[in-house]
Structure 1
């Protein structure tokens, strides 16, 4: 059996952008490449390699680099932190690398891997019981540009609703999952790189993985729509939990990052959604209460 990483995933991630922005020849070439991938590899293989690749490139790798930058060069990192020294993993620029910080990074990467494993198990179960039912559609037919835009809109909207509801109604009420969430994630001083996926594994699956993957199933996203959707979510998590003040797209991502910090510093009194839209509509948004 061929190794799983023999799949030319480059074409899955790079070629869509090139194809849609290029000539009709590029579109035809991309479709031929896509058809070759679909016909020569199983749908499960395409989905899992695509998922792992996007997660590594858009979340794990940049977050790990940011984390190493914070712990190895804190004097330089503190200049970029919105909360100064308090936003560093050690809490100050003279602090040493702590075992707890490495533990947080280890659990975050473990949870990320766990989510992909659970996704594979769910897909295998669906394929065994319902042959034509899948989380992600891997078909020869490609989504049209406006279909892709609609998929992204509904996917991100469903994720916002699910994240807000689960976070507020399950992870911040009186139950075992809420207590685990409080003793794990809310033991952090401040968000810093990799903490987006740090929590007890059970809490992670309910509060982070489920709101991300369920909209994909409800909307029946095509693989290409799913790749773009997952890439946007991964980049959002990378920057919103980085603790840095300079942000791409400035106000938008920067506002999400400040909301994330305020949620942690307020001990979970508000800011339950990733984008803050439902918090604003339902008056559960909280302002920054940080005091160094």
Structure 2
């Protein structure tokens, strides 16, 4: 498992599963001849996308960014449509680190779409139960409200199985949530309640822009997904926070990227440091 050190905090990528989604949908209006130069695709025009949560450990506490694609939550048809070739093995990943899901103090949910939130719950006989029973689950109030009352567009990605079993654990915030060196900031864009995460410690910064910059190939401010509910908000948020990250010489971390776990860019948009995903 790949790691990254930010001050006194260690980031570790767990195995949360892999999907293959349509490249045109993932890059929106960007022509294929452009995006295909920056990210691989298969014969079906699908691009590989990880769903790997990031474990953060430091100061005696443990955080998890996102929860993975889950286990046993998808039908065969959904697996085919979403190109799922691997489900989550979070418990296995944590066991390799001498931990269990009961050891996670906070689960930080940038948003609650199925590919981020499926791993929050699992089936136990005839019911679904929390995977992280001792965790506080943090998400924006806007996101939490829409998850429980989705609109005609979002109802296919907000599943009751993912929120009903954990509702007593959820804590929401309006604009910003802060705990020690970690901040969650509501941005909107990809979803109305979408948030990003900033970790600053020891003079170093990690910026997790979640699905407003899902892979390193989405660095161009105008390259936003067709999946975004509010693409112009995504563009403005990406522009603002990309500038912030570059000013801080930040590591940009990824949940979906199948090539890099984290990257640093210089002012000329050139990669100057990377953490590559091991095969």
TM-score (norm 2): 0.28
Q: Which protein has the bigger strand share?
A: 2
Q: Which has the higher contact order (CA 8 A, sep 6+)?
A: 1
TM-score (norm 1): 0.27
Larger radius of gyration: 1
